[in-house]
Amino acid sequence: MNRNLWLLAICQGLFLTNNVTFIAINGLVGLSLAPLGWMATLPVMGYVVGGAMSTGIVAHTQKHFGRKTSFQLGLIVAVLSALLCCYAAYTRNFWLLVAATVIAGYYNANAQLYRFAAAELAQASFREKAVSLVMAGGLLGAVAGPNLAAGTRTLTEVPFAGAYLALAGVALLAMVLLAFIHFPPPPVRQAVSGGRSLRKIMRQPVFIVAASAGALGYGVMNLLMAATPIAMQVCGLPFSDAATVLEWHVIGMFAPGFFTGHLIKRFGTLPIMATGLALNVVCVLIALSGVEFQQFLVALFLLGLGWNFLFTASTTLALTAYRPEEKDKAQGALNFCVFAVLALSSLASGVLVTTQGWTLLNLGSLLPLGVTGLALGWLALQQRRAPAA
């Protein structure tokens, strides 16, 4: 481990502070401003739609300007979009809030590449642990995000406007830390050849499963997490309880990062992904058992834990699907898959929880979990046949 990895882990934590705060407040601010109740999570959806729209731009800036410059551009956008969100809250302009979160998606698309950059900052034998360590930096977001949302809720006369101002400060702090990280130069071969075509890379079974499992796992997590503050409010639970549930959810997401890399190295990617999938199923069963504070707390904690295993292992699996000179287009395609599913889950989250309720939302999440299970079984079968062939 080295200083660059630790600084990148802190930047990951500050990024998750932004994300968790957005999840905690955007649905509630959207609910207070939206013309119709089912539109409440459109600001959450805007964040991931903006990320999906930005993946191509980010891949271009990463390739031509390098990691550091691209990451810094993302943080500049984070500052400006947070200030625009604050202005939208003050003026009670719902559509401006949605537009601001779409713009913030550029930061989202940039920072989602921190986990891939981690693998480049470590030796080849340590890259699973490097990815896991940087993911563990999200623990900072687990603590800071919900507490930032709760502590700044009444900072100004407009609810949560102060939280958006605080997020601008968080992005500025990340810019300072990022300035001290040294990223390795791009591979020399990249200047000569871009490697295989994206279509050929994406047709590999390992890429298909890494992309689908990572995207669907993230989508289910987002589907349930984005709906939780609204569901708890409908059930009569105070925002302080929702903040506590989100805090423990994000702890579940990133605390395992200190040992997930060791587990992947010892047991392999597919068994760890299967374990994450099983934890997500248990989360749904607990959520279906009731709507008391305890059920929300335990279910969301297990949801975060399952997401960590599934997403960290799928990221590690994806590293085997492309060569160094292919990383920009391959990582862009992986992130686009994640953002596309996140956009759908963000919209579905608001629609289902406000029109059909928390129970149907959880039942619906079993479908993508089932598809993920089939994908893992298919790849395991492909890998078993390969040595025999």
Superfamily designation of domain 3-181+196-388: MFS general substrate transporter like domains (1.20.1250.20)
CA dist 290 and 271 (Å) reads: 30
Indicate the range of 49-58, 145-154, 195-204, 219-228 predicted with least confidence: 145-154
CA 269 to chain centre: 19
CA angle (176, 181, 183) in 5-degree steps:
140
pLDDT digits (tens, 9 = 90+) for 214-247: 999 999 998 898 788 888 888 888 878 988 898 8
Q: Is the pLDDT of residue 144 over 70?
A: yes
Tokens of 187: 């591979």
CA dist 30 and 157 (Å) reads: 17
CA dist 49 and 45 (Å) reads: 6
Indicate the range of 106-115, 273-282, 301-310 predicted with least confidence: 106-115
* Sequence ranges of the domains in the chain: 3-181+196-388
Q: Is the pLDDT of residue 192 over 50?
A: no
pTM over 0.75? The answer is no
Confidence of residue 203 (pLDDT cuts 50, 70, 90): very high
Q: Are 8 and 181 in contact (CB under 8 A)?
A: yes
CA dist 228 and 330 (Å) reads: 33
Residue that wins the pLDDT comparison between 78 and 352: 78
Candidates 195, 217, 207; CA nearest to 331 is 207
Residue that wins the pLDDT comparison between 1 and 55: 55
pLDDT digits (tens, 9 = 90+) for 11-42: 999 998 888 888 778 877 887 888 887 777 78
Q: What is the DSSP-derived secondary structure letter of residue 203?
A: T
pLDDT digits (tens, 9 = 90+) for 121-138: 877 778 778 888 888 887
Tell me what the mean pLDDT of segment 295-322 comes to. Answer: 93
Q: What is the DSSP-derived secondary structure letter of residue 186?
A: P
| Mean per-residue pLDDT over the chain, rounded | 87
Candidates 23, 35, 231; CA nearest to 142 is 23
Tell me what the mean pLDDT of segment 81-100 comes to. Answer: 93
Q: Is the pLDDT of residue 79 over 70?
A: yes
Indicate the range of 69-73, 76-80, 83-87, 344-348 predicted with least confidence: 344-348
User: Residues 6 or more apart from 24 whose CB is under 8 A from it?
Assistant: 145, 146, 149, 229, 242, 243, 246
CA dist 115 and 364 (Å) reads: 29
CA dist 231 and 223 (Å) reads: 12
The packing angle between helices 42-91 and 161-178, to 10°, is 110
What percent of the chain stands above pLDDT 90? 43
Burial class (CB in 10 A: 0-12, 13-18, 19+), 291: middle
Q: Is the pLDDT of residue 190 over 50?
A: no
Residue that wins the pLDDT comparison between 279 and 262: 279
> What's the pLDDT score for residue 189?
47
Candidates 357, 350, 345; CA nearest to 218 is 345
Residue that wins the pLDDT comparison between 335 and 211: 211
CB atoms within 10 A of CB 179: 10
> What's the pLDDT score for residue 43?
86
Q: Are 210 and 319 in contact (CB under 8 A)?
A: no
> What's the pLDDT score for residue 388?
55
